[in-house]
Amino acid sequence: MKLVVLGLSLSSSWGNGHATTYRALLKAFAARGHDILFLERDVPWYRGSRDIGEPDYCRLEFYGSIEELRHWSDKIRNADAVIVGSYVPEGVEVGRLVQRLARGVTAFYDIDTPVTLAKLERRDFEYLSPEVVPGYDLYLSFTGGPTLRRIEREFGSPMARALYCSVDPDAYPVLDVPKAWDLSYLGTYSDDRQPTLEKLLIEPARRLPRLRFCVAGPQYPEGIDWPDNVERIEHLPPSEHPRFYAASRYTLNVTRADMIAAGWSPSVRLFEAASCATPVISDEWPGLDSLFAPEREIVLASSADEAVARLSSRDSAALGKAARERILAAHTSAHRARELEQHIQEAAAARFGAGQKERNVKRNEEIVLVTGGAGFIGSNLCDRLIDEGARVICVDSLQTGRADNLAQHEREPRFEFVEHDVIDKLPQWLRGGRVKFTHIYHLACAASPPHYQADPEHTMLTCVVGTRNLLTLAEETGARLLLSSTSEVYGDPEVHPQTEDYRGWVNCTGPRACYDEGKRAAETLAFDFLRSRRADVRVARIFNTYGPRMRCDDGRVVSNVVCQALSGEDITVYGDGSQTRSFCYVDDLVEGLCRLMRSDRAAGMPVNLGNPSELTVRDLVNLVLAMTGSSSGIVRMPLPEDDPRRRKPDISRARELLGWQPEVDLRQGLKATIRWFAKAENRIERPLYAEQPLVVAAE
């Protein structure tokens, strides 16, 4: 996307924490493929203290007045998102200008949220005023917790989301340097922080004259009585922060009074010091324990006695190591860049997407179209939707789906089946908004290699033409569309496990390309419709799925192995069986699809749905043989071309956005699958395409 940021400063870290925050965040955001323009007000106090040159991750430009800012009107107007930061000079006027011009998402990034809200209560509208808050589509806040709901409730923000500060761990590494201080503090002077600094650093320094202390930062008044063992550093540029922290046995975190009252307000020094594996002693405030585990990753102190006791001990190394591990797991700039992207996409969907209509639709008023609804996954999804009270129209060509899968709904008044190929124009009665669909689940496409390779042209057309037909229907009816994509877009992955950010390793001319590249093209269409605000879409990348209603001839490894074991035939293993898969039971997948469809947070991004529990094909075969009591032997065949060696989803995004993860363990799911296949009528299919190996499919 094209992003324009109007922030306090990117060029100078003198006397402010904004610059380091923006540098880390925007560098990581650019690494995700986005184009960034940073517009900074040219003011004397930062002009004389600039500590970076031209950044390589964004374009940095300066303006001298609101009138000069208008020279950038076209950039603001045509950006996908425009962010205005706190403490921007003439911020209220800047915000009004942005809200008038911008066609994309507008956001306010409050790096000083509790301070801002206190200023608003005092009617101090230095950079934000109550009337401009509702005009921002998104309020990004350094403070989380209850404050977010307050911003929405009291100030009318359409959407308030936490975007904490973070750290670039490459810029803040662990350094092996001699310890110069037992306790340090890095921060600009403020009246409300000084009493805590007195209590937790200056008083301990008086009591422990043999220890060494340091306070780095500008604007401290002349009259402070610094003990002789406290070193003062007036200004420390960001490039010297890692060495400063590394030279500290402990470092201190002191929080401003407004931020303590609000809670959930971490300062950047917490993350920077922890990234350097420097143990942190911090004052206490609500929400801190949601970021770091007290006594394991951080030390909390409320008195000089507690600070002295900690400084008198020597067990600090494990604390610093644990803190760095927490940073790498949750608080890097890469984490924040991904969160920013998600928040912008969520705001775009709320402002421009058809999903706005859907939010107020009651469950019993849902009218759902399911393409591919007679298939393995589609029929299980239809069952779920009917059980929830939706009206369901199922479209399927029955090329690979089976009418028997839907027999249970034959007399259901809320269910209707239409035999139709999505490549062809949809029936007129479905089009033109005549049926007011609220949701469209687009699952139509052969998903196993023997089936989709039998007619590769039809497979590609289903992915492209069929998807376009359904997206157009979503545009006409205002329905939200969920596209079932696949882990096959990752090809034979070189990254493991696979995150949604991985762009894949796909053979675009191989025998699987009709499906792999077809699904990639379908995703392109879906996101293009979303970006042009023609349809509200969700995209699920489905990994190996198994369960009742699979076909014996579908090429999925579970159905192959189970059917061969139950029939007493030799089990075919391709390659040496060391290739891995992660098997998700169909009920878990259907739950994930429903949550994704109904999520407003997951707009504009693919979401992996699968089970991250990885095992080899060889181990699966042994497990099925044991569970079925089969005496089948094993026959080895060459590994098919482009067959993935490893496949495992990273489902962090699904956990975060949907609160979803698989619940059915493999043995439980296999038991239900074996029971279903044990009925002879469910094993009547034989391999239709004997010349093609039954390889492992993605879904």
The verdict on 653 and 541 lying in the same domain is: yes
Domain annotation covers residue 647: yes
Question: Position 503: which residue type?
Answer: R
pLDDT band at 433 (very low <50, low <70, confident <90, very high): low
> pLDDT tens across 525-544, in order?
999 999 888 899 999 999 99
| Cα 149 to Cα 170: distance, rounded to the nearest angstrom | 34
Give pTM, 2 decimals.
Answer: 0.51
The verdict on 44 and 153 lying in the same domain is: yes
Question: Position 4: which residue type?
Answer: V
The verdict on 635 and 579 lying in the same domain is: yes
> pLDDT tens across 173-209, in order?
999 999 999 999 999 999 999 999 999 999 999 999 9
pLDDT band at 601 (very low <50, low <70, confident <90, very high): confident
Q: Which of 262-276, 537-551, 682-696 has the lowest mean pLDDT?
A: 682-696
| Cα 443 to Cα 591: distance, rounded to the nearest angstrom | 15
Query: What residues contact residue 343 under an 8 Å CB cut-off, 6+ apart?
Result: 107, 138, 140, 159, 161, 163
Q: What is the CATH number of the domain that holds 538?
A: 3.40.50.720
Residues of the domain holding 496: 353-683
Domain annotation covers residue 225: yes
pLDDT band at 350 (very low <50, low <70, confident <90, very high): confident
pLDDT at 121 over 70: yes
Share of the chain above pLDDT 70, in %: 94
The verdict on 149 and 225 lying in the same domain is: no
Q: Which residue has the tokens 């005092």?
A: 122
Q: Which residue has the tokens 């363990």?
A: 665
Query: What residues contact residue 660 under an 8 Å CB cut-off, 6+ apart?
Result: 591, 592, 595, 596, 609, 651, 654
Domain annotation covers residue 171: no
pLDDT band at 510 (very low <50, low <70, confident <90, very high): confident
The verdict on 675 and 577 lying in the same domain is: yes
Domain annotation covers residue 167: no
The verdict on 114 and 196 lying in the same domain is: no
The verdict on 273 and 142 lying in the same domain is: no
pLDDT band at 37 (very low <50, low <70, confident <90, very high): very high
Distances in Å between the alpha carbon of 159 and those of 118, 262, 338, 367, 476?
Answer: 20, 19, 18, 28, 27
Task: Determine whether 63 is an active site residue.
Answer: no
Residue 507, pLDDT score: 78
Orientation of helix 617-628 relative to helix 557-567, angle to 10°: 40
pLDDT band at 694 (very low <50, low <70, confident <90, very high): very low
| Cα 673 to Cα 104: distance, rounded to the nearest angstrom | 48
Q: Which of 55-69, 253-267, 470-484, 488-502 has the lowest mean pLDDT?
A: 488-502
Domain annotation covers residue 76: yes
| Cα 458 to Cα 455: distance, rounded to the nearest angstrom | 5
3-state helix, strand, coil in the chain (%, to 5): 40, 20, 40
pLDDT: which is higher, 191 or 682:
191
CA 569, distance to chain mean position in Å, is 45
Domain annotation covers residue 596: yes
The verdict on 391 and 274 lying in the same domain is: no
Residue 515, pLDDT score: 85
Tell me the mean pLDDT in the region 235-252. 94
Residue 687, pLDDT score: 38
Residue 600, pLDDT score: 87
Q: What is the CATH number of the domain that holds 90?
A: 3.40.50.2000
Mean pLDDT value across the chain: 89
Q: 603-639: b or e for each residue (b if 16 or more CB lie within 10 Å)?
A: bbbbbbbbbbebeebbebbeebbeebebebeeeeeeb
Q: Judging by beta carbons within 10 Å of its beta carbon (0-12, 13-18, 19+), is residue 4 exposed, middle or buried? A: buried
The verdict on 375 and 495 lying in the same domain is: yes
pLDDT at 683 over 60: no
Share of the chain above pLDDT 90, in %: 71
Other C-beta atoms closer than 10 Å to the C-beta of 319 total 23
Tell me the mean pLDDT in the region 15-38. 94
Helices (H), 299-448: 304-311, 317-330, 333-352, 355-358, 376-387
**Domains contained in the chain, number:** 3
Residue 360, pLDDT score: 36
pLDDT band at 316 (very low <50, low <70, confident <90, very high): confident
DSSP SS3 for 579: coil
The verdict on 534 and 585 lying in the same domain is: yes
Residue 553, pLDDT score: 79
The verdict on 89 and 231 lying in the same domain is: no
The active-site residue, picked from 127, 164, 515, 574, is: 515
Domain annotation covers residue 558: yes
The verdict on 153 and 202 lying in the same domain is: no
Domain annotation covers residue 296: yes
